[in-house]
Amino acid sequence: MNKQGLWQAWRHGQGVQDMAERALDLLFPPRCAGCGKSGSIVCAACLRQCVPVTPPFCLRCGTALPSPGLCRRCKMDPPGLSGLRAAYVYQGTLRSCIHALKYDGNKRLAGPLGGLLAQAYHTFGLRADMLVPVPLHSERQQMRGYNHARLLAEVCAASVGVPSRDDVLARCRATAAQADLTASERRQNVAGAFRCAPAWATGTLYGCSIVLIDDVYTTGATVEACAAPLFAAGAAAVWALVLARPVQK
């Protein structure tokens, strides 16, 4: 089957899946992941409760500041990224939705959440040749059945008109969960954990502008570890766009 045939088959498969989901929705109406109200995966009222990250913030890492500029960390120890932007504050409804997408198998939440990422992409004036989701290790992806960052990237990419490529980066070794680690432990945990796929490591990325996609930013250790092999492969700029970051104190 040629490329066009594969594309048509994929679209047909997607159409059948969409119809099946609509039929199931009639029989078993979905419930909002935020408030539990029947009728939608996440309702408009819950989406309106999401708190956007707004300026002023650090021009490099997005940390809240009293006025635009660079935060102390970025002045003293610049991150290994061209820049990072977070769309919303990681709390309340959004936190529940991210958890449901990531751990509860509610993959349909990638639609509205990816839409929020697309809005942020435009709001922050980002420009990219491609979106690259942060990869999972093959063992973890096999256990979960999917990569949530890839689902978010695909929805975002379709909306902003930029290709999403999940074949550029690979996680070459399994790492411990980051949640319970300190900032320095997080950096050590993911150091050297990612590599650029051979097909992309021979000059194909030279001069490219790339935006990494992930769900939550905490210390930036993971996206910085992802950026390193991309820069080594010739990328001119590597930004990160994440759905949320914790409340800054």
Return the C-alpha torsion angle 57, 155, 209, 167, nearest 10: 130
In whole angstroms, what is the distance from residue 194 CA to residue 172 CA? 5
HEC per residue, 12-78 = HHHHHHHHHHHHHHHHCCCECCCCCCECCCCCHHHHHCCCECCCCEECCCCCECCCCECCHHHHHCC
pLDDT at position 10: 36
CATH class of 56-245: alpha beta
Strand ranges, E, within the chain = 83-89, 130-133, 169-171, 194-196, 209-216, 237-245
Give 3-state DSSP helix, strand, coil % of the chain, rounded to 5. 45, 15, 40
- pTM of structure: 0.85
- Domain residue limits, the chain: 19-49, 56-245
**Pair 222, 212: CB distance under 8 Å:** no
**Between 148-160 and 110-123, two packed helices, what is the crossing angle to 10 degrees?**
50
Q: Output the tens digit of pLDDT for each of the chain's 249 residues.
A: 443 444 344 344 444 444 444 444 444 568 899 888 888 899 999 999 999 999 999 999 999 999 989 999 999 988 899 999 999 999 999 999 999 999 999 999 999 999 999 999 999 999 999 999 999 988 888 888 999 999 999 999 999 999 999 999 998 876 656 566 666 666 676 766 789 999 998 889 999 999 999 999 988 889 999 999 999 999 999 999 999 999 865
In whole angstroms, what is the distance from residue 153 CA to residue 15 CA? 20
Q: How many CA atoms lie within 13 A of 82 on its CB side?
A: 17
In whole angstroms, what is the distance from residue 91 CA to residue 230 CA? 31
pLDDT at position 28: 52
**Pair 33, 43: CB distance under 8 Å:** no
Phi first, then psi: what are they for 196, rounded to 5°?
A: -85, 135
pLDDT at position 156: 98
In whole angstroms, what is the distance from residue 241 CA to residue 60 CA? 12
pLDDT at position 233: 95
In whole angstroms, what is the distance from residue 103 CA to residue 144 CA? 8
